[in-house]
Amino acid sequence: MVSAMILAAGESSRMGSPKALLKIGQKTFLQYIADVLVSARVLDIVVVLGADASEIQKNLGWFRGKILINEDWQKGQLSSILVGLRAVEQKDLHGILICPVDCPLITQHLIVKMLHQFWTRHKPIVVPVYKGRRGHPVLIGRAFLAELERAPIEIGVRAVLWNHPDDVLEYQTEDDGVLTNIDTPEDYQEKIVKRFSSS
């Protein structure tokens, strides 16, 4: 089984409002990501909140997975991953899909293909690559989760990738959404609003 972790604990300081609650069409970023994961048959999903947790939780009535609070969210992304790792279903766990909420443009096709690569190519780490650049989400096999827990807090997932280059499968995709990171209102207007209003 592969579980998923949606990281939504950051302060969204440059955005000015919680990125988890920004909309793609009628869905928030959080719901958009979760729905894609479910459509790809990733059913064990954990959401990690931190800053603005109470506001975001008010909008999670639709979510049936685990909702966790990272009290140390100021320490960065890895601190949220560690909170999530303690809560995912460990029985029969083979890997974790790590999905930052500010990289919402994942697709069912992408997740299905990454899972297929994970199961058939027998590489414990799968990273999507668009035009030579690595993106999100990242799939990390169970064998490396203990090392991830010990990674330098300021480096996080990258430390595992750097330490084990031969264990990383770069999945080449034509899906540019793997590089779409939403940090500012300008990002949101340019990369989400304009994109979906013209589609």
Indicate which CATH number applies to the domain containing 71: 3.90.550.10
Q: Tell me whether residue 19 is in a domain.
A: yes
Residue 70 to residues 74, 190, 196: CA-CA distances in angstroms?
Answer: 9, 30, 32
Q: How far apart are CA 53 and CA 96, in angstroms?
A: 23
CB 126 within 8 A of CB 54: no
Q: How far apart are CA 130 and CA 53, in angstroms?
A: 32
Q: Which residues have CB under 8 Å from 186's CB, separation 6+?
A: none
Domain range for 147 is 2-191
Report phi then psi at 120, rounded to 5.
-100, -30
Closest CA to 5 of 90, 115, 101: 101
* Per-residue pLDDT tens listing for the chain (199 residues): 999 999 999 988 889 899 999 999 999 999 999 999 999 999 899 999 999 999 999 999 999 899 999 999 999 999 999 999 988 877 789 999 999 999 999 999 999 999 999 999 989 999 999 999 999 999 999 999 999 989 998 898 999 999 999 999 999 999 999 999 999 999 999 999 988 876 5
Structure tokens at 42: 């990733």
Structure tokens at 23: 């909309």
**Residues constituting the chain:** 199
- Position 89 scores a pLDDT of 72
- Position 5 scores a pLDDT of 96
Q: Tell me whether residue 122 is in a domain.
A: yes
Structure tokens at 143: 């064998």
Q: Tell me whether residue 197 is in a domain.
A: no
Assign residue 16 a region (left: φ > 0; alpha: ψ between -120 and 50; beta: otherwise). left
E strand intervals along the chain: 2-8, 23-24, 27-28, 45-49, 66-69, 95-100, 125-130, 133-134, 138-141, 168-172
- Position 69 scores a pLDDT of 96
Q: Tell me whether residue 198 is in a domain.
A: no
Write the single-letter amino acid at 81: I
Closest CA to 66 of 83, 88, 82, 90: 88
Q: How many domains are there within the chain?
A: 1
Q: Tell me whether residue 199 is in a domain.
A: no
Q: Tell me whether residue 167 is in a domain.
A: yes
pTM of structure? 0.94
- Position 199 scores a pLDDT of 55
Structure tokens at 132: 């030579």
Q: Tell me whether residue 127 is in a domain.
A: yes
- Position 29 scores a pLDDT of 97
CB 140 within 8 A of CB 98: yes
